[in-house]
Structure 1
Amino acid sequence: MTADVTAGARHRAPSAPDAALPVPPTEGSVAEWTDRYTHALMDTFGAPQRVLVRGEGPYVWDADGKRYLDLLGGIAVNSLGHAHPTLTAAISAQLGTLGHVSNFFGSPTQIAFAERLLGLVGAPAGSRVFLTNSGTEANEAAFKLARRNGGQDRPRILALEGSFHGRSMGALALTSKAAYREPFEPLPGGVEFLPFGDTDALEAAFADGAGQQVAALFVEPIQGEAGVRPLPPGYLALARRLTADSGALLVLDEVQTGMGRTGAWFAHHLPQVGGGITPDVVTVAKGLGGGFPVGALIALGEPVASLLGRGQHGSTFGGNPVASAAGLATIAVIERDGLLGHVTDLGARLRERLSGASPLVAEVRGEGFLIAVELSSPVAGQVAQRALEAGFIVNPCTPTALRLAPPFVLTDEQAGTFVDFLAALPHDLGVQP
């Protein structure tokens, strides 16, 4: 009898949604929800700029019904835009089949997802993936993996000035900004920060046998939080040679630049960025799940993939079936709809149009849909606020730079509306009495 009951349960169709279940609340104004926010959530982000209630494609709407063109994409997360039907269907279908199991067990979705990541990065034989929930967790895992490379004989870990690798204690130790670090010191030790893009400083860090004490070099191919700063041509090739010669690991943080954001699956695949190198470790998250939390550490090659052994790291939710389904669906849509080419082509046109939009614009840099608009004076915050009032979401990542990281489904016409907004701004913004 037990066998019959089990078989019946296995083939039973999922039950229909319960109509009595409460739906998420949406009634109330932005002001009302903001007041409730300030009393319910910790003040780590400040009061929200707006309270958003729904999204569709590259647009979101706030609680007052106002529409915004989301040119930040949840900080490079919503690569397929909002409420993409393929992504939402994949998540719903997986959750209705198998939502979560511990990592004492595997799932076909998890395994297929890891295999797809290895294929996309071009991993050699013996490579392995550790799945996480976020970029911070991926970099935390990479920090631990680096510690396993030589142990106490290699106490030095190198990162770059301007770096941002996350806010957990290990990832924060790799993050250079003093305002983020100082309230939580002492942090895990051994981390040294090299001047950004300085090849002489990089060579000096490995000179005269010093490289034999380096466990790893952590690098973002394009620094996002620091203002979308690409490393100079040849820097990653030099980093690869120096780390390989000394036995140190080259860890590329592609949390923000990966999964098609720059028009390639990974920024280091771009000839002008990576020059054809193969790193030891790649970390990725943000756009990996199209809005669903998922991240990954990808260890390239057998020696590196074996550095973290059984019981040396773990994650309750990492690689759960729903997150894996979201990742697989996101990859499938990017491939099916030719979005890498779209990001490359429209990104280039958008950067060109932004460059000539206004005397306020001093420089435009980036790759694909990761773009910085450098302004001629420190008015990025003021411009971002005016943009929000006009119905555009952008990020003033530095006092002089606006960061754009829009969904890959953005159209030429939609992008043009922001160019027109920028062109209409007063040219003497920020210097008026």
Structure 2
Amino acid sequence: MTSENLQGHRPLSELVGASSGASWLARYSDSLMGVFGTPQRVLVRGQGCYVWDADGKQYLDLLGGIAVNALGHAHPFVTSVISSQLSTLGHVSNFFTSPTQVALAEKLLQLTGAPAGSKVFFANSGTEANEAAFKLARRNATNAAGGKRTKVVALEGAFHGRTMGALALTAKKAYREPFEPLPGGVVHVPFGDIDALAAAVDETTQAVFLEPIQGEAGVVPLPPGYLAAARKLTHDAGALLIVDEVQTGMGRTGTWLAIEGSGIVPDAVTLAKGLGGGFPIGALVTFGAENSARLSAGQHGTTFGGNPVATAAALATVHAIETQGVLAKVRAVGERLRTALAALPEVAEVRGRGLLLGIDLTGPGGDAAQVPAGANLAAAVVNQALEAGFIINAPGPRTIRLAPPLILTAAQADTFVAALPALVAAAADHLAQTAKETK
């Protein structure tokens, strides 16, 4: 586009206007649905592992858009690839394909170790990838004896998304009950209980869905041996084993998939979040020719999924992770962070792998009695952290979650470890004061 073509076009700052954080939040409440509650801050800029709000305050982003911004914010290579692709070809619909779509599918088949005959379906998010996987499961409708398969098994504590099919797989009642009846045939079994899984999986089972590490439940890994047991049970029953790696995949745990090293080959894996480095994209990877043939032409689709810009963003993200030694850094910084946090008296337990960590808190100096009974300590710590310039998350009343950009440095991680005891103490003081005032 020439300078003449650009004349008369207004810059983005003029299109959206300028305002303080408080003013933006007021405008937000007047114009956006309240499904997310009140935003914690209005963010306007990011660079690497840092973001800035509308009032100029800087934060170390230890949540990464909930495990999305794999390479941090405004990564120069990713942004240049997106800009280049968008200036060439942005969207074509799936009546056509593009080189970036084909190249990314090939790359994902390589990275996941998928056998011959495996295929990829591209979507726009994790929940959409899981919707596609749910449809794949429904296509496993008949058992060897000619009987009907009608049941899908998921785990208690599971989070697979909020669209209707993915929501049926999700266990949390607060998410499910307002929208029932949900798609039927889904049963939830106790997390980590192999005997309960064995009792549920039979010749009527279409598939078992599971996450190697349950992120929304507080970063809770499956116990040793569970994946292998699930693979054997599903294989023997003719059911599919579908692994949700939306949060754990694409290097988050220090390997491309969290199931690497488990010895299992699933029937399908779902991916999203970190796949696009901040650009919306999801994927269903089907393993083997039989599974890849379960969905045929016309049985599923998407308008935007796998478009040239999204697949270019994902290719750039994967390339940067591969060529910049990111996986090794994730393992090293993640272990450093885990070890340092576990040594703090304010921390009862640290779970997870790589840069997906769940931290169970006790109280100031390890004294849980300093926190009022029933108080949400984790949420109070999140608020104190924001004031101190850290973005973290509280999936439970005593648990905080870290899912920072995979490029987090050891020095950056150390600043949070050093700050956490004071954050817990301040949160406990605030909760105690609030409890006194409400008596």
Offset at residue 360 of structure 1 (A): 2.0
Match of 1:423 in 2: 421
Select the residue among 39, 42, 47 that pairs with 1:51: 42
Select the residue among 275, 280, 287 that pairs with 2:267: 280
Match of 2:106 in 1: 115
Match of 2:174 in 1: 179
> Distance in 1 between the 2:2 and 2:109 partners?
36
Match of 2:339 in 1: 352
Select the residue among 85, 95, 101 that pairs with 2:86: 95
Match of 2:9 in 1: 21
> Distance in 2 between the 1:297 and 1:171 partners?
13
> Distance in 1 between the 2:65 and 2:425 partners?
29
> How many residues are aligned here?
411
> Distance in 2 between the 1:426 and 1:228 partners?
20
Q: What letter is aligned with 1:23?
A: P
Offset at residue 427 of structure 1 (A): 4.8
Offset at residue 362 of structure 1 (A): 0.6
Match of 1:32 in 2: 23
Select the residue among 251, 254, 266 that pairs with 1:260: 251
Select the residue among 87, 90, 97 that pairs with 1:106: 97
Q: TM-score, normalised by structure 2?
A: 0.91
Offset at residue 405 of structure 1 (A): 0.2
Select the residue among 278, 299, 315 that pairs with 1:291: 278
> Distance in 1 between the 2:115 and 2:241 partners?
15
Q: What letter is aligned with 1:179?
A: A
Offset at residue 428 of structure 1 (A): 8.7
Report the 3-state secondary structure (helix = DSSP H, G, I; strand = E; otherwise coil) of the residue aligned with 1:114. Answer: helix
Select between 74-83 and 374-383 the one with higher mean Cα deviation.
Answer: 374-383
> Distance in 2 between the 1:158 and 1:260 partners?
27
| Compared CA separation, residues 331 and 234, structure 1 to 2 (3 A) | same
Match of 1:195 in 2: 190
Match of 1:392 in 2: 390
Offset at residue 15 of structure 1 (A): 4.4
Match of 1:381 in 2: 379
Q: TM-score, normalised by structure 1?
A: 0.93
Give a deviation string over 1:161-213, Cα, whole Å, max 9, x none: 0000000000000000000000000000000001000111111113xxxx111
% identical aligned pairs? 62
Report the 3-state secondary structure (helix = DSSP H, G, I; strand = E; otherwise coil) of the residue aligned with 2:35. Answer: coil
Q: Is the 8 A contact 1:26 1:53 kept in 2?
A: no
Offset at residue 426 of structure 1 (A): 5.3
> Distance in 1 between the 2:297 and 2:157 partners?
34
Select the residue among 335, 338, 354 that pairs with 1:368: 354
Match of 2:371 in 1: none
Q: Is the 8 A contact 1:372 1:401 kept in 2?
A: yes
Q: What letter is aligned with 1:191?
A: V
> Distance in 2 between the 1:138 and 1:402 partners?
26
Give runs of aligned pairs for residues 269-348 of structure 1, distance below 5 A.
269=260, 271=261, 275-348=262-335
Q: What letter is aligned with 1:260?
A: G
State yes or no: 1:133 paired with 2:124.
Answer: yes
Offset at residue 23 of structure 1 (A): 2.5
Give a deviation string over 1:352-390, Cα, whole Å, max 9, x none: 001113x22110111000001111254000001000000
| Compared CA separation, residues 19 and 230, structure 1 to 2 (3 A) | farther
Select between 116-125 and 17-26 the one with higher mean Cα deviation.
Answer: 17-26
Select the residue among 237, 241, 253 that pairs with 1:250: 241
> Distance in 2 between the 1:410 and 1:129 partners?
30
Report the 3-state secondary structure (helix = DSSP H, G, I; strand = E; otherwise coil) of the residue aligned with 2:51. Answer: strand
Report the 3-state secondary structure (helix = DSSP H, G, I; strand = E; otherwise coil) of the residue aligned with 1:263. Answer: coil
| Compared CA separation, residues 315 and 46, structure 1 to 2 (3 A) | same
Match of 1:5 in 2: none
Offset at residue 429 of structure 1 (A): 5.1
> Distance in 1 between the 2:342 and 2:394 partners?
17
Q: What letter is aligned with 2:320?
A: V
| Compared CA separation, residues 429 and 133, structure 1 to 2 (3 A) | closer
State yes or no: 1:149 paired with 2:136.
Answer: no
CA RMSD of aligned residues (A): 1.4
Offset at residue 60 of structure 1 (A): 0.3
| Compared CA separation, residues 167 and 214, structure 1 to 2 (3 A) | same
> Distance in 2 between the 1:241 and 1:131 partners?
28
Give a deviation string over 1:257-300, Cα, whole Å, max 9, x none: 0000000000000x3xxx21110000000000000000000000
Q: Is the 8 A contact 2:381 2:424 kept in 1?
A: no
> Distance in 2 between the 1:402 and 1:222 partners?
15
Q: Is the 8 A contact 1:110 1:319 kept in 2?
A: yes
Offset at residue 423 of structure 1 (A): 2.5
Select between 374-383 and 76-85 the one with higher mean Cα deviation.
Answer: 374-383
Report the 3-state secondary structure (helix = DSSP H, G, I; strand = E; otherwise coil) of the residue aligned with 1:260. Answer: coil
| Compared CA separation, residues 27 and 304, structure 1 to 2 (3 A) | same
Q: Which runs of 4+ in 1 moved over 4 A?
A: 14-17, 426-429
> Distance in 1 between the 2:22 and 2:136 partners?
46
Q: Which runs of 5+ in 1 are unaligned?
A: 1-13
Q: What letter is aligned with 2:390?
A: F
> Distance in 2 between the 1:85 and 1:427 partners?
39
> Distance in 2 between the 1:428 and 1:133 partners?
40
> Distance in 2 between the 1:128 and 1:138 partners?
13
Q: Which runs of 5+ in 2 are unaligned?
A: 363-367, 369-375, 434-439
> Distance in 2 between the 1:370 and 1:404 partners?
6
> Distance in 2 between the 1:356 and 1:103 partners?
52
> Distance in 2 between the 1:114 and 1:380 partners?
39
Select between 21-30 and 275-284 the one with higher mean Cα deviation.
Answer: 21-30
Q: What letter is aligned with 2:263?
A: G
> Distance in 1 between the 2:103 and 2:427 partners?
52
> Distance in 2 between the 1:423 and 1:150 partners?
53
Match of 2:161 in 1: 166
> Distance in 1 between the 2:71 and 2:17 partners?
24
